[in-house]
């Protein structure tokens, strides 16, 4: 081999090595001190118009201003949120693909035969963003004006009355099953394919009770179409301060946290997670953001990555137990 051919061959090998190094650099984890350098995507695993989607689109522009990069909200609905959630779980842990989710995140693994993520190991929790209040309501023709009277009716006539939910395994369904476990109420479950049909039949008296979001119940309560008997949370709801909590009605252990939060793929650098948490906390402290969430029936609820991780773990254990005890089978 001549010297010129040898030199050309060495140059070819060096070039190939350089290409390989560049490719590896492209897949290397992002460094917190150089992040972000391009647009960030927040994946919402449900359709547009849901509370998660609204939250992402309210927070997104403010986060974009703080980080100096565009924030893209991408809806990836399907399979009760599992498609979009699985997509983020398997995304590169570089801070450019995030997930805005809801408490169903910890319910789905026990409600489906297979899910593409593990709620405890597939993600790096960034922080809780907001809470949505749930209330226990009955049709006005149901013979109860207090929760105690409703429980007395359920116990006096086991299996006679029915409650509605938007579907098997929804938070409203599990919240009512949790309520039944702590009160001994014997009331039949009627699942619907969405909230609209469930609420229509509740108003019509085909079913007698339902646990539903406070912002949905408020106008129906004000018009006299629903009777709201209790709030399923530790504190009274400001826009319904005349409605007592479960605890005030003597029901303990049935409070439900309908939380919304943001996560990143597991192994995302701690520096990126901490910065996102810090920036989102500052956004949630803005009066205009609080006002926007109030109109959606949501309350700002910022916490730390560690606190959010603890909430995920405790709720995963709690709802796993409820699903098992209630005999709810995977879809």
Same domain, 173 and 319: no
Is the pLDDT confidence value at 22 over 80? Answer: no
Q: Count the neighbouring beta carbons within 10 Å of the beta carbon of residue 303.
A: 18
Same domain, 144 and 220: yes
CB crowding 211-231: b at 16 or more within 10 Å, else e: bbbbbbbbebbeeeebbbbbb
* Short-list 228, 232, 237, CA closest to 254: 232
Least confident of 30-39, 88-97, 143-152, 174-183: 30-39
CATH code: domain of residue 202: 3.40.190.10
Same domain, 138 and 224: yes
The verdict on residue 25 lying in a domain is no
Three-state DSSP state, 259: strand
Question: Can you tell me the distance from the alpha carbon of 100 to that of 98, in angstroms, rounded to the nearest whole number?
Answer: 7
Apex 115 CA angle, 110 and 116, nearest 5: 150
Contacts with 326 (C-beta within 8 Å, 6 or more apart), sequence order: 174, 177, 180, 181
Apex 120 CA angle, 119 and 121, nearest 5: 100
Cα 162–chain centre separation:
27
Same domain, 139 and 223: yes
The verdict on residue 184 lying in a domain is yes
Three-state DSSP state, 204: helix
Is the pLDDT confidence value at 259 over 60? Answer: yes
**Domain with 124 in it:** 35-131+258-326
Same domain, 113 and 138: no
The verdict on residue 4 lying in a domain is no
Between β-strands 40-44 and 71-75, what pairing exists: parallel, antiparallel or unpaired? parallel
Query: Do residues 185 and 139 lie in contact, with contact meaning Cβ atoms separated by under 8 Å?
Result: no
Q: What is the CA radius of gyration of the chain?
A: 24
The verdict on residue 14 lying in a domain is no
User: DSSP of 281-324, one letter per residue?
Assistant: HHHHTSHHHHHHHHHTTEEE----HHHHHHHHHHHHHHHHHHHH
The verdict on residue 293 lying in a domain is yes
The verdict on residue 277 lying in a domain is yes
Q: How many residues in total does the chain contain?
A: 331
The verdict on residue 331 lying in a domain is no
pLDDT tens-digit series, residues 175-209: 999 999 999 999 999 999 989 999 999 999 999 99
Question: Can you tell me the distance from the alpha carbon of 267 to that of 279, in angstroms, rounded to the nearest whole number?
Answer: 20
pLDDT tens-digit series, residues 99-134: 999 999 999 999 998 999 999 999 999 999 999 999
Instruction: Calculate the average pLDDT of the chain.
Output: 90
Please give the tally of structural domains in the chain. 2
Q: Count the neighbouring beta carbons within 10 Å of the beta carbon of residue 265.
A: 22
Contacts with 42 (C-beta within 8 Å, 6 or more apart), sequence order: 56, 60, 71, 72, 73, 74, 98, 99, 100, 262
Cα-Cα end-to-end distance for the chain? 68
Residue 197's Cβ-count burial label (10 Å; 0-12, 13-18, 19+) is middle
The residue-averaged pLDDT of 151-170 equals 94
Same domain, 121 and 149: no
Is the pLDDT confidence value at 17 over 80? Answer: no
Residue at which a domain ends, from 194, 216, 232: 232
Same domain, 161 and 208: yes
Question: What is the pLDDT at residue 238?
Answer: 86
Asked if the peptide bond before residue 158 counts as cis, ω within 30 degrees of 0, the response is no
Question: Can you tell me the distance from the alpha carbon of 92 to that of 135, in angstroms, rounded to the nearest whole number?
Answer: 39
Same domain, 155 and 226: yes
Cα 49–chain centre separation:
14
The verdict on residue 1 lying in a domain is no
Question: What is the pLDDT at residue 204?
Answer: 96
Same domain, 225 and 146: yes
pTM for the structure as a whole: 0.85
Is the pLDDT confidence value at 21 over 50? Answer: no
Question: Can you tell me the distance from the alpha carbon of 271 to that of 328, in angstroms, rounded to the nearest whole number?
Answer: 40
Same domain, 96 and 148: no
Same domain, 41 and 79: yes
Same domain, 138 and 228: yes
CATH code: domain of residue 322: 3.40.190.150
């Amino acid at each position: 081999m001549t010297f010129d051919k040898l030199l050309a061959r060495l140059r070819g090998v060096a070039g190939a090595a350089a290409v390989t190094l560049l490719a590896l650099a492209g897949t290397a984890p992002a460094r917190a001190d150089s992040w972000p350098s391009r647009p960030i995507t927040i994946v919402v695993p449900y359709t547009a118009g849901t509370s998660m989607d609204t939250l992402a689109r309210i927070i997104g522009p403010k986060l974009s201003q703080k980080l100096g990069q565009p924030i893209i909200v991408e809806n990836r609905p399907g399979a009760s949120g599992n498609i979009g959630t699985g997509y983020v779980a398997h995304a590169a842990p570089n801070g450019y693909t995030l997930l805005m989710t809801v408490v169903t995140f910890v319910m789905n693994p026990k409600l489906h035969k297979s899910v593409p993520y593990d709620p405890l190991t597939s993600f790096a929790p960034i922080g809780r963003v907001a809470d949505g209040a749930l209330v226990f309501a009955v049709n006005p023709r149901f013979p109860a004006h207090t929760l105690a009277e409703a429980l007395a009716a359920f116990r006096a006539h086991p299996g006679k009355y029915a409650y509605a939910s938007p579907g098997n395994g929804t938070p409203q369904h599990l919240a009512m099953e949790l309520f039944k476990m702590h009160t001994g109420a014997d009331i039949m479950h009627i699942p619907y394919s969405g909230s609209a049909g469930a609420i229509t039949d509740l108003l019509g008296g085909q079913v007698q009770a339902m646990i539903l979001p406070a912002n949905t119940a408020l106008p129906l309560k004000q018009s006299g179409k629903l009777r709201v008997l209790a709030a399923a949370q530790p504190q009274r709801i400001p826009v319904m301060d005349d409605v007592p909590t479960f605890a005030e009605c003597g029901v303990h252990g049935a409070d439900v946290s309908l939380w919304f939060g943001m996560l990143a793929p597991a192994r995302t650098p701690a520096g990126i997670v901490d910065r996102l948490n810090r920036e989102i906390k500052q956004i949630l402290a803005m009066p205009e953001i609080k006002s926007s969430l109030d109109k959606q029936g949501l309350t700002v609820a910022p916490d730390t990555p560690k606190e959010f991780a603890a909430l995920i773990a405790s709720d995963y254990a709690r709802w796993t137990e409820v699903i098992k005890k209630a005999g709810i089978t995977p879809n």
